[in-house]
Structure formats: C-alpha cells, structure tokens
Copies of this chain bind each other. A is one copy, B any other.
Amino acid sequence: MHELFIKHQERLELALLHCKNRSYWSPFQESPSSKYHPEGARLKAKERYDELLGEIFPLSQPASIGLVGKEVSPYTQKELGIRYPQHSPNQLIEASKCAQKHWTRSTTEARVGVCMEILDQLAHNCFLNTYASMHTAGMSFMMGFAGSGANALDRGLEALAHAYKAMADIPYQTVFRRSFARGPVVRIDKHYHIVGRGVAVVICCGTFPTWNALPALFANLATGNPVILKPHPNGILPVALVVQTGRRVLAKYGFDPNLILLAADEADNPITIPLMENPHTAIIDFTGSPTFGTWIEENFHKKLVFTETAGCNSVIMESTDNYDGMIHAIAQSLCLFSSQMCTSAQNIFIPAQGVQHKGHRISFEKVQQDIIDRIDVLTADPKVAAALCGCIMSPRTYHDMNQLRELALQQNALLRDSVHYVHPQYPHAATATPMLVAAEFSNSTLYRKEYFGPMAFVIKAPNAQKALEQAALDAKECGSIASYAYSRNTTFLEEIEEAFLDAGASIGCNLIQHLPINFSAAYSDFHVTGLNPAGNACLTDIAFVASRFRIVQIKKER
C-alpha cells in the first residue's frame, strides 16, 4: 500500500461514506477566520500574491517557447503582469503522453494517495488562492476563500472518492478455477490492469477557475490519465497555483511532474482547440458557455467529452409561508457573485394574480417591487455589496448588459437598472448590481437563453401552473442547472416534482433559510443532470469517473 494512501486513508473513507449518505461534511476549512489558520497566514499570502505580480511565475515545465499571460484584475483594472511559460499544444501533449505510461502502471492506491496529498497541499494554499481568484475571476474575498477554496477542494475530493470507488472494485488479480465438460479443474491466473484512456485536457472557466477543474483533474489523474489544465486567459493564476503544487507533490514522490501541465494562453492566440484536436487527447472536460460546449460535444465525439455549461434557471412562485425569506433568497441569488454562477436564478415567473402568503394574496406588483427593493437594500452598503457581488470578470458582460438595457429601454421594460457600487477598497473595481427586466410571458425567445452576469427577467405568468409548464419546458429544451420553486401547496409541489423529473432538471423548493440558494454542496448535491442541454457531466456521479479508465486483462495458465 502506498504511504500516501495510508496517510490519507481515513479522510478518503469518510469522503466515501459521505458520498453515500449525501449529508453535510467537509474536511476543508471554509472559514477564513484567523482562529482556524496559522497566525499571519492571510497576511503572508497577500504578500506572496503581491510578490508574484509582474514576475515570471515559477513553474518548471518542459522547455517553453516563450512567455504568455495578460491577466487583468477586475478589482484594479490593472494587468497582473504575471508571465507563464508558453508551449505549443504539441509540446504539451508529447510531455503528457510520456508521463502516462509509468503512471498508468502504478497502483490505484499510489495514484489516489498522490491525489489526496495534492488536495491536502492545496488546502494549505487557501489564502493565496483567494487573492488569485479575486484578481482573476473577480470573486469577493469570501467567495474566493470558500467557493474557489474549500468548496472546490471538496468537489475534487468527491470526484477522487468516486474514482477510487470505481477502481477499487476491480481486484488486481484472481485465480479462476473451473472444470469444463468432464475435464480436470483448470487454473488460470488473471491480472486486471486499469489503464487510463490517454491525455486529458481540462478547459477551466473564467469565473470559477478551480471549482470544476479540480473534480476533472482528480477524476482523470486517479484513473491513470495525465492532465493538461487549460485556464481561461484571465484565470491563469489560480490554475497555475494548482499545477505548481501538483507538480511538486508528483516529483517528491517519484512521479513525472508532467502528469499535470499548465497550458496558459492569451485571448488573441488561444490554444484550446488545437489542444482538443490532437489525436492523443482522449478526454476533454469543459466548463464554460453553452455554445462552445455544444460545439465541443459535436466536434469531438470520438473523444470522451464532459461538459458543464449553463441554461436559463427559473424561479416559480405560487405560495409561501415565509414571504420575506423568499424575497431575500431570490434577491440574494441575483446579487451573489453578480449572477456569474451556473446556479444563479434568471427567469423569475410571478403569477399575474400574485403569490399566496398564509392565506393572503400578495399582488404581482408588490412581489416584483419587493424583489427590486431587496436588491437595493442588499447593494446599498458598499461593504455588503462588495462581499456579496464581487466584481464582473469579463468586459463582455458589460457589453451584454448594455445590449439588454437598450432593448429594455426601447420596450419600457427596465425594472431596475444595473449600477456600479463603489468598492470600499478598490475604487476602480468592475462592479455591477443586478439589472431586472420585465419580459412578456409570450416573448420566450427573449428569456429562453442564458444571460451571463447580473441580468434577470421578471415574467408575469398567467398563473403558477403556466409558469411551471414554461419553466420546465425551458429547462428541458434550453438547459438548467438549478431551478427554484416556492409553494406550500402539496399538490402543486407534486406537480413541480413531476414536471422537473420529466424535464430532466433538478429543482430546489422553498429554499429560504440562511444558505444561499445557489449553493451546491459536494458529497450531497448532484450538480448537472445530463438530461438537459446544460452539460452532460455530473459532479459527481459514478458516470463522471467510470469511463475515464478501461481494463486490460492478462490471463495466464500455470
């Protein structure tokens, strides 16, 4: 048994247990509170982050052809000036291929042990990763610490546990004894070898650089595949930190560090497609836009492709016994990380006759206004707004918002304009509070697609039933990762459940209390169903890991 497997076995077993129980658990620290971390950890990390700026990132990859990197901080609007090694796609694939053989011949326990150690080492890097995530993805400090930190590590461990589970059921060898017809007993030694499929390319997303990348990294690595991480051109640093740690651990334990490679590029010279096209690339994990995701699914069908994209997440309201809680939950979902999450609510269906609350009817107009007001409240205090909304990652989002604003103004449908909030620490931060647009129920071409960023629609539905039908249809045909419903009517709740089961989309009902409704919990929430267009990969079910490796069998008769 590999020393690293023994070292981390208890944690792995707990992860397996919780994947099965699907209750709350995390071995990683989600809180940045100083009481949970070594003295000065946060400050030291900030210093380390500052030292990285303007320098060549220390990463000993194979011979590079130059340097790349043009990341701009959404907080300062300044270039980070960090330069990463540049490689041709072929160079990376070659180095990756060479690294595979020895790795795929090692034991499951060795591979899983090394992955556990990398996760553990990454956990020691949580503050530095926070600053890296803030100044690339535009996350708030808290989101960077938890969402890009502990929560991402949890998703990574969850995928690793599933990979281990899928492989652990296959013994290394067995002795097969049987007689045939009336002959004597035959004895055959059978050896079962787990073999990775080949080079795995992981296309990371800009707004959540690690949350999807870590599951893909560990699912691939554990099952015997070398991994090339291709970060978003404005999200290199958080990924480079993962690669740096991973390579250090691999080398320390005698494995080829090229099992984890960084494929940094710049927006005007992208290498994503050549990396995927290479015949040695066997597995592609993609997180990003539905358009590119669908294109990948259609163009690389000879490879194993896992996608997590997006759709249009709906909110259906019928009745509630906690009106304030409901309004707060919805408003918070629109504000959280400026709706740059695949679980952010977008299409808010309010029945024309309003919403029932403890026997009383609250009018459509009041519900709509209360959401607007609550957004105003949540974003009024710059300190609160900063913690909640963070920054806008991509200038493209402003472009989209301008377009939608123009359209809404033409139609007199702008319910709430998006405004900058002034960040208390970073006066130049790219900020934006949610824009709310009124959409006709019948104008579904407007709202049946993803608007990435702080844009949402209030849609007056003829009634709750029609709202449900439309939301379920949109989920089925246009994709949805998370939808939300509010009803205290048992029959209607059953109808919601049936409609979303038919649509192949997950839904959260009456989510109100002190957990942001956007939150997707590792070991508990299955993220992405694969039954609607918002991606085919589920974090993490057994299908996410099972086909990343294959079994070659060597039989020997004595």
Residue from B500, B502, B516, B556 within 8 A of A554 (CB atoms): B500
Residue from B23, B174, B193, B558 within 8 A of A174 (CB atoms): B23
In the complex, what distance in Å separates the CA atom of A178 from the CA atom of B177?
51
Q: Does A411 contact B (CB under 8 A)?
A: no
A179 and B552 within 8 A (CB): no
B-side contacts of A547, CB under 8 Å: 530, 543, 546-547
B-side contacts of A529, CB under 8 Å: 195, 550-553
Which of A61-69, A241-249, A310-318, A503-511 makes up part of the contact surface?
A503-511
B-side contacts of A502, CB under 8 Å: 101
As a 0/1 sequence over residues 524 to 558 of chain A, the CB contacts with chain B under 8 angstroms (1 = contact) are: 11100111000000100111001100111111111
Greatest chain B CB density within 10 A among A169, A497, A512 is at: A169
Nearest Cβ on chain B to A71's Cβ, whole angstroms:
30
In the complex, what distance in Å separates the CA atom of A247 from the CA atom of B22?
36
The quantity of this chain's copies bound in the complex is 2
B555 and A509 within 8 A (CB): yes
B551 and A504 within 8 A (CB): no
Total residues of chain A contacting the partner, CB 8 A: 76
Q: Does A253 contact B (CB under 8 A)?
A: no
A166 and B542 within 8 A (CB): yes
A516-B552 in contact given A21-B174, A195-B501, A543-B547 (Cβ < 8 Å): no
In the complex, what distance in Å separates the CA atom of A429 from the CA atom of B179?
31
Residue from B105, B301, B506, B516 within 8 A of A501 (CB atoms): B105
A514 and B184 within 8 A (CB): yes
A552-B510 in contact given A190-B524, A541-B546 (Cβ < 8 Å): no
B509 and A554 within 8 A (CB): yes
B-side contacts of A504, CB under 8 Å: 195, 550, 552
As a 0/1 sequence over residues 286 to 305 of chain A, the CB contacts with chain B under 8 angstroms (1 = contact) are: 00000000000110011000
Q: A24-B178, A512-B557, A529-B551 are in contact. List 5 more A-B contacts (CB 8 A).
A: A20-B171, A23-B177, A509-B556, A511-B557, A529-B553
In the complex, what distance in Å separates the CA atom of A20 from the CA atom of B557?
21
B23 and A506 within 8 A (CB): no
B22 and A174 within 8 A (CB): yes
Question: Which residues of A161-178 are within 8 A (CB) of B?
Answer: 165-166, 169-171, 174-178
Nearest Cβ on chain B to A314's Cβ, whole angstroms:
15
